[in-house]
């Protein structure tokens, strides 16, 4: 755990000493702020569900931006050899980097509480809907982060990593929409892999244990895939 914590702290320093996080945060709040003001001014309804729907949509663009440098930067600079031959094993490296991205996402999630705080000045918020929506946004973001981390292990080019991460996340996002064009078991199978569709019950204020298990399993699968990719690079 000490090695994981050290890697996590190193990644957090890299994040906040570079402009990537600041650009990602600025983009996120610029777009979500526009959606928030336009939706509220047009409807005058105190409801956080449209707000969280918009924020999760913006995640499609922000998450690849945050994760694209995690491993690809090491590959580009040639520091991957030092990292892979360090006392920390590859699993610890991947988990440490992933925990750093989760910390950034947690900070982002906390900052978004500003919007419900503003809404609460104009009416009473549905508290179960608010906190379950927050949980769903965090779980969805955590799943996207795992995909973005995996994409960053595939190439030394940050831009290619970001585009690959965006493509994979977008495909998983659109699984529900693709399922509407097929029938029977194929539709049921496609809907099972939808990362966005799993947030529906949360946004109704209902805790969905099956969705939590799905997200955790999803994250573990992509972390294991990331470890396998780096293991192959180590023995080349």
pLDDT in tens, 68-92: 888 877 777 666 555 556 666 788 8
3 state SS of 124: coil
Res 99: pLDDT: 92
135: which residues sit within 8 A by CB, 6+ positions away? 202, 207
Q: How many Å apart are CA 137 and CA 81, to the nearest integer?
A: 35
Residue among 68, 91, 94, 226 nearest 160 (CA): 68
Q: Which of 44, 234, 51 is nearest to 133 (CA)?
A: 51
Least confident of 69-73, 91-95, 180-184, 209-213: 180-184
User: In this structure, which long-range contacts are made by residues 170-174, counting pairs with CB atoms below 8 Å and at least 24 apart in sequence?
Assistant: 170/60, 172/147, 173/60
pTM, two decimals, is 0.86
């Amino acid at each position: 755990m000490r090695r994981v914590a050290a890697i996590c702290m190193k990644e957090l320093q890299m994040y906040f000493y570079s402009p990537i996080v600041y650009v990602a945060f600025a983009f996120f709040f610029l777009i979500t702020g526009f959606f928030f003001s336009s939706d509220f001014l047009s409807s005058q309804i105190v409801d956080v569900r449209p707000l969280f729907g918009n924020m999760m949509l913006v995640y499609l663009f922000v998450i690849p931006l945050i994760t694209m440098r995690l491993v690809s930067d090491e590959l580009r600079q040639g520091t991957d050899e030092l990292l892979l031959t360090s006392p920390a094993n590859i699993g610890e490296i991947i988990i440490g980097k992933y925990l750093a991205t989760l910390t950034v996402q947690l900070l982002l999630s906390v900052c978004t509480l500003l919007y419900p705080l503003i809404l609460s000045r104009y009416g009473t918020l549905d508290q179960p809907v608010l906190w379950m929506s927050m949980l769903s946004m965090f779980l969805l973001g955590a799943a996207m982060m795992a995909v973005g981390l995996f994409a960053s292990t595939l190439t030394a080019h940050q831009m290619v990593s970001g585009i690959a991460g965006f493509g994979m996340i977008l495909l998983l996002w659109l699984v529900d929409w693709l399922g509407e064009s097929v029938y029977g078991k194929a539709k049921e199978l496609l809907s099972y892999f939808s990362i966005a569709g799993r947030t529906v019950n949360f946004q109704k204020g209902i805790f969905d244990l099956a969705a939590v298990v799905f997200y955790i399993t999803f994250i573990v699968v992509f972390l294991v895939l990331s470890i396998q990719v780096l293991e192959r690079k180590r023995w080349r």
